[in-house]
Structure 1
Amino acid sequence: MPSRRAKPTSSDVAAAAGVSRSAVSFAFNNPQRISVATRERILGVAQQLGYAPSTLGRMLQAGTTGSIGVLLPQRLARVLENPYYSRFLMGAGQICDQEGYTLLLTPPLQDSVLRAIPYAAVDGFIVCGLEKDRGEVAELERRGIPFVLIDSDRHEGAPSVEVDDRGGAREVTRHVLELGHRRLAVLSIGAEREALARGSYGPIARRLAGIGDALDEVGLSLAGVRLAEVPVTRADGYRAARELMAAGEPPTAILALSDVLAYGAVDALQELSVDVPGDVSVTGFDDLAESAWFRPRLTTVRQPIVTKGRMAADFLVSAIRGEAQHPHQTLGTSLIIRDSTAKAP
């Protein structure tokens, strides 16, 4: 018997139960290989000794972790500030619960998404917000790790899920233009004007393209629109809106490319005693739960965030199991008109 301070091993259990080490392994991993009586004896001895099999060892033996990774494009603290991700992870979590997987969030390691990949013990990745030509995608392919791309272009080597960002942005811009607004400003996420110019079509670049489509229809150009490119937090939306209103000829409408940025913009405008929507209309994108009771209630573009997360996890589970690959899926959006937009003053 081992000492009271020593951690019991499978050999200790085997000796105490009068069986082989293989029988101990079978008792925990393949109970059908031994009799019910033998398994019960082994488990009883293991409980008396305080023995539990190594989770890592079982994973290595099985060649699987039972976990799905969500490869995030930003640091964890920044991601958790954005309610969008809680909705997305809710959908992914529903499939994980259903299929018996755990969900592991994998943010950049030392500011590198690429460095984070080898340290994540997962069976596959949901890749959020990275273009298909990024090095991380090539690394996943090199390692043979199943993955699903979210909000990216089609990729022959993996399933992908996106929403109609361009169409949604086009519709909300048309709405603002139909109200008579011509002095527009856009709160974008990250430096996307350059990405759009070089033909990169991530979700934010697609939204900018949709705004450009609507402007073209009335003889205007995206190049003439004031664009503030900021991180996606409420505080960033607040700061950007204050700067826009301090400049000459402030906008009569602010198109925020996320609801979170729109909330911050409204905070700033109300602090400056600017009426929303009487003086300045504000729109968002996402239709987060808060947008329906925010004051004024936010006009925005609804995307099916929970459905997107659920579909991503479902596609990944199929890929992990070697089942038929799902095709690229584009989910629809819809314009939700509420109280934060009105006719141009």
Structure 2
Amino acid sequence: MHEGRRVTAKDVAQAARVSRTAVSFAFNDPARISQQTRQRILRVAEELGYVPNPIARALVRGSTRSLGVLLPQDIPLVMENPYYAQFLVGLGQVCDREGLSLLLVPPLRSSMRDAIPYAAVDGFVVCGLATDRGEITELRRRGVPFVLVDSDELPGVPSIEVTEQAGIAELVGHLLELGHRRLAVLSLPAGGSGSSVPVGPLARRMAGIADALGVVGMSLDHPDVRVVEVASTRAEGYRATSELMAGPRPPSAVVALSDILAVGALDALRDLGVDVPGQVSVAGFDDLPEANWVRPALTTVRQPIQAKGRVAGDFLVASIQGERPHSGQVLHTALIVRESTGPVHPSASG
């Protein structure tokens, strides 16, 4: 009967001897029609092979039943960093509970702002907004709720933050207590394409390192402190550590601002025949599952990544449902000492 073209709601209405409005109610607002009528419509729809258009359904309901994750990088680069997998687990748990779908929204033509109008979602979790280049204005113009994560704080915008300055200060303090003074810091480009940490959070981590160094009369400008900016990938951790170890006065400890960089550092030191932690200590930030799998197991700063995703999802769902937006929440870090850090080697103490 309808071979060669898509079956429409009009076809279902004619076959079921009801109005098109009744067909719409059957799929989108069942309480508006009798159970008997709805069952007849659904039976006819199945017989005809009718599948509701999801865009049309969203227009009828005024809702897509989807949350958007506005990303600071293209999806392939984002997925190289296991941090995002953990974050999406937490956010996905909220979606499962609420019966929502999740849409990853990468930059469009390198612009997070340009991607916002094209995402069919009811609200956004905005990740890693380095500097507001019109994204907040565009989100407000669109009129959908949004939550900031791993972003610079903005007045009046709900956000989820982490005590990263205190966390990294505790980690570096741990290394200093072990006698380390020649430190290499594998940092991240501030808000660049290879960074999962935007300007504000990155600045807080660097401030935490400076806080710890100040306790022993050192600073980030000290000649024995090397800060190297690299993209947050395992390969870049490997490359940077190899170059540092080949240079003059190689570090006795490597502090990576992400675990995936630290794992790359461990790879490089193993290939160079350098004992960890006997000759060089390595520490990271995140406490990804990989931190406990590598050998030696990685000393790191644990941030509650999955909890961050859950809280962001809870805030966003509450706002979509009409509740007053949360002002934000601060989640706490913890130092996790494992086997990759130890006392400074005598040859590196001078």
Structure 2 CA distance for aligned equivalents of residues 246 and 132 of structure 1: 36
Does the alignment pair 1:45 with 2:44?
Answer: yes
Give the drift of 1:106.
Answer: 1.0
Answer whether contact 1:129 1:202 (CA < 8 A) is retained: no
Q: For 1:197-236, what aligned pairs fall within 5 Å after superposition? A: 201-224=199-222, 225-236=225-236
For each residue in 1:293-345, what CA deviation from the matched residue of structure 2 results, as whole angstroms up to 9, or x when unmatched? 31111111111111111000000111111202212211111111111111111
**Quick one: percent identity of the two aligned structures?**
61
The corresponding residue for 2:256 is 256
The corresponding residue for 1:197 is none
Structure 1 CA distance for aligned equivalents of residues 204 and 7 of structure 2: 58
Does the alignment pair 1:170 with 2:163?
Answer: no
Give the drift of 1:6.
Answer: 2.5
Give the drift of 1:191.
Answer: 3.9
Give the drift of 1:192.
Answer: 7.3
Q: For 1:66-77, what aligned pairs fall within 5 Å after superposition? A: 66-77=65-76
For each residue in 1:189-217, what CA deviation from the matched residue of structure 2 results, as whole angstroms up to 9, or x when unmatched? 11479xxxxxx852222111100001111
The corresponding residue for 1:242 is 242
Give the drift of 1:133.
Answer: 3.2
Give the drift of 1:284.
Answer: 0.4
Give the drift of 1:37.
Answer: 2.3
User: Secondary structure of the residue that 2:103 maps to in structure 1?
Assistant: strand
- After superposition, the Cα gap between the structure-2 partners of 1:144 and 1:131, relative to the gap in structure 1 and judged at 3 Å, is farther
TM-score (norm 2): 0.92
User: Secondary structure of the residue that 1:260 maps to in structure 2?
Assistant: helix
The corresponding residue for 2:195 is none
User: Secondary structure of the residue that 1:38 maps to in structure 2?
Assistant: helix
Give the drift of 1:34.
Answer: 2.0
The corresponding residue for 1:280 is 280
Structure 2 CA distance for aligned equivalents of residues 116 and 201 of structure 1: 21
- After superposition, the Cα gap between the structure-2 partners of 1:322 and 1:3, relative to the gap in structure 1 and judged at 3 Å, is closer
Answer whether contact 1:151 1:162 (CA < 8 A) is retained: yes
Give the drift of 1:129.
Answer: 1.1
Give the drift of 1:138.
Answer: 2.6
Give the drift of 1:8.
Answer: 1.9
Structure 2 CA distance for aligned equivalents of residues 211 and 108 of structure 1: 31
Structure 2 CA distance for aligned equivalents of residues 122 and 66 of structure 1: 7
TM-score (norm 1): 0.94
The corresponding residue for 1:314 is 314
The corresponding residue for 1:327 is 327
Give the drift of 1:132.
Answer: 6.2
Structure 1 CA distance for aligned equivalents of residues 274 and 329 of structure 2: 41
Does the alignment pair 1:297 with 2:297?
Answer: yes
Structure 2 CA distance for aligned equivalents of residues 64 and 341 of structure 1: 51
Structure 1 CA distance for aligned equivalents of residues 134 and 337 of structure 2: 40
Give the drift of 1:81.
Answer: 1.2
- After superposition, the Cα gap between the structure-2 partners of 1:49 and 1:201, relative to the gap in structure 1 and judged at 3 Å, is closer
Answer whether contact 1:192 1:205 (CA < 8 A) is retained: no
What residue identity is the alignment partner of 2:157? A
Does the alignment pair 1:27 with 2:26?
Answer: yes
Structure 2 CA distance for aligned equivalents of residues 131 and 191 of structure 1: 8
The corresponding residue for 2:348 is none
Structure 2 CA distance for aligned equivalents of residues 41 and 102 of structure 1: 29
Structure 1: unaligned runs, 5 residues or longer: 194-199
Answer whether contact 2:161 2:331 (CA < 8 A) is retained: yes
User: Secondary structure of the residue that 1:285 maps to in structure 2?
Assistant: strand
- After superposition, the Cα gap between the structure-2 partners of 1:128 and 1:27, relative to the gap in structure 1 and judged at 3 Å, is same
Q: CA RMSD in A?
A: 1.7
The corresponding residue for 1:81 is 80
Structure 1 CA distance for aligned equivalents of residues 7 and 109 of structure 2: 38
Structure 1 CA distance for aligned equivalents of residues 188 and 152 of structure 2: 18
Structure 2 CA distance for aligned equivalents of residues 86 and 6 of structure 1: 40
Answer whether contact 1:261 1:284 (CA < 8 A) is retained: yes
Answer whether contact 1:192 1:229 (CA < 8 A) is retained: no
What is the aligned residue count?
Answer: 338
Answer whether contact 2:191 2:199 (CA < 8 A) is retained: no
Give the drift of 1:84.
Answer: 0.9
For each residue in 1:14-56, what CA deviation from the matched residue of structure 2 results, as whole angstroms up to 9, or x when unmatched? 2222222222222222222222222222222222221222111
Give the drift of 1:249.
Answer: 0.9
The corresponding residue for 2:340 is 340
Structure 2 CA distance for aligned equivalents of residues 48 and 24 of structure 1: 14
User: Secondary structure of the residue that 2:311 maps to in structure 1?
Assistant: helix
Structure 1 CA distance for aligned equivalents of residues 51 and 103 of structure 2: 23
